[in-house]
């Protein structure tokens, strides 16, 4: 289903929402990921389970659920694609609810939620129609979840028993600009952090340094933030944007990250990735 339109609704949350396709309204439920319940949710058992998974309290997991709901609405502010086998997602609504994958202008919605610590790897499994098997999808998502946990994003950055976090402040805009331009999205509220892109100015570009020896090159998909910041030309903000845009098919794709492009910055940092 191409060119789908997101429909705001009180019952929407991070992994389940209403949308319109060819004048028909549907309910979408994401495969493989589970965003925390929101205040509108009624499943107390699920809230307790989610809180235990992230190691936080039930009120804190509800805050993360609200953050995930806003995150999904922001990502779907422009038309998107819903890929589905039309497997029933059940639910209490009289509108058809299907499991599927959502492709936004920035990438797969489930992967973006997990990358930002706004969902866990959990739920109904399926291979991507015409693409990878379910096991490969799970492996990819588990890697993104471990990175989110290491970087203390979203639910992973909440200090247990509080409504605040000791991790990096929440950047206010989207994580990775689409190829055709960046949609305007309202800043996300400051609840437990889930980096969605940096809002600070890019650091000044230093003079290009010689390429490192091949043995010193790092993997762009697994490098830590500190490792990225050791590369001349990559500051705190750009490191966050590179991490948020992962996974990359090849290191050449770093040019798609905001602040890199296809010019001097790309030529400066690309030789440091294998």
Query: Which of 108, 128, 157 represents a domain boundary (last residue)?
Result: 157
Same domain, 143 and 239: no
Task: For residue 196, tell me if it sits in a domain.
Answer: no
Q: What is the DSSP letter of 69?
A: H
Same domain, 142 and 254: no
- What is the extent of the structural domain holding 237? 214-272
Task: For residue 152, tell me if it sits in a domain.
Answer: yes
Task: For residue 134, tell me if it sits in a domain.
Answer: yes
Contact yes or no for 175/218 (Cβ under 8 A) = no
66-73 mean pLDDT: 95
Task: Grade residue 128 by pLDDT with cuts at 50, 70 and 90.
Answer: confident
Q: How far is CA 50 from the centre of its chain?
A: 18
Tell me the per-residue pLDDT of 226-265, one tens digit each, with 9 for 90 and over.
889 999 999 988 988 888 888 888 888 899 898 898 888 8
Report the percent of the chain where pLDDT is more than 70. Answer: 76
Task: For residue 94, tell me if it sits in a domain.
Answer: yes
Same domain, 153 and 230: no
Q: Identify the CATH number of the domain in which residue 243 sits.
A: 1.10.150.320
Same domain, 20 and 143: yes
Tell me the per-residue pLDDT of 12-36, one tens digit each, with 9 for 90 and over.
999 999 999 999 999 999 999 999 9
Same domain, 227 and 148: no
Query: Which of 114, 135, 157 represents a domain boundary (last residue)?
Result: 157
Q: What is the DSSP letter of 77?
A: S
Distance, in Å, from the CA atom of 65 to the CA atom of 59, rounded to the nearest integer, reads: 10
Task: Grade residue 123 by pLDDT with cuts at 50, 70 and 90.
Answer: confident
The dihedral built from the CA positions of residue 159, 163, 165 and 170, taken in this order, carries a sign that is positive
Task: For residue 121, tell me if it sits in a domain.
Answer: yes
Query: Which of 129, 157, 185 represents a domain boundary (last residue)?
Result: 157
Q: pTM of this prediction?
A: 0.59
Number of C-beta neighbours around residue 238 at 10 A:
24
pLDDT at residue number 41: 57
Contact yes or no for 64/71 (Cβ under 8 A) = no
Q: What single string gives the DSSP state of each residue in 199-246?
A: -SPPPP-PPPPPPPPGGG-B-TTT--HHHHHTSTT--HHHHHHHHHHP
What is the number of domains present in the chain? 2
Task: For residue 173, tell me if it sits in a domain.
Answer: no
Task: For residue 188, tell me if it sits in a domain.
Answer: no
Structure tokens at 235: 């500051």
Task: For residue 108, tell me if it sits in a domain.
Answer: yes
Exposure letters 118-131 (e unless 16+ CB within 10 A, then b): bbbbbbeebebeee
The region, left, alpha or beta by phi > 0 then psi within -120 to 50, assigned to residue 204 is beta
Q: Which residue has the higher pLDDT, 247 or 43?
A: 247
pLDDT at residue number 40: 59
């Amino acid at each position: 289903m191409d060119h789908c339109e997101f429909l705001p609704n009180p019952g929407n949350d991070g992994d389940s929402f209403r949308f319109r396709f060819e004048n028909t309204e549907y309910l979408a439920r994401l495969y493989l990921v589970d965003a925390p319940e929101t205040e509108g949710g009624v499943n107390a058992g699920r809230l307790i389970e989610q809180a235990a998974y992230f190691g936080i309290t039930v009120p804190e997991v509800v805050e993360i659920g609200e953050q995930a709901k806003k995150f999904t609405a922001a990502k779907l502010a422009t038309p998107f694609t819903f890929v589905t086998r039309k497997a029933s997602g059940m639910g209490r609504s009289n509108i058809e609810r299907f499991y599927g994958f959502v492709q936004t202008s920035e990438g797969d919605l489930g992967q973006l939620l997990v990358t930002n610590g706004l969902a866990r790897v959990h739920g109904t499994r399926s291979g991507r129609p015409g693409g990878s098997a379910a096991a490969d999808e799970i492996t990819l998502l588990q890697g993104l979840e471990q990175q989110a946990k290491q970087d203390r994003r979203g639910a992973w950055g909440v200090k247990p028993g509080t409504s605040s976090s000791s991790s990096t402040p929440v950047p206010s805009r989207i994580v990775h600009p689409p190829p055709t331009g960046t949609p305007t999205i309202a800043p996300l509220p400051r609840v437990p952090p889930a980096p969605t892109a940096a809002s600070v100015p890019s650091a000044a570009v230093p003079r290009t340094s010689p390429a490192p020896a091949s043995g010193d090159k790092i993997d762009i998909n697994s490098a830590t933030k500190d490792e990225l910041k050791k590369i001349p030309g990559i500051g705190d903000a750009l490191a966050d944007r590179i991490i948020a845009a992962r996974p990359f098919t090849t290191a050449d794709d770093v040019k798609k990250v905001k602040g890199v492009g296809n010019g001097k910055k790309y030529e400066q940092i690309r030789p440091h990735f294998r």
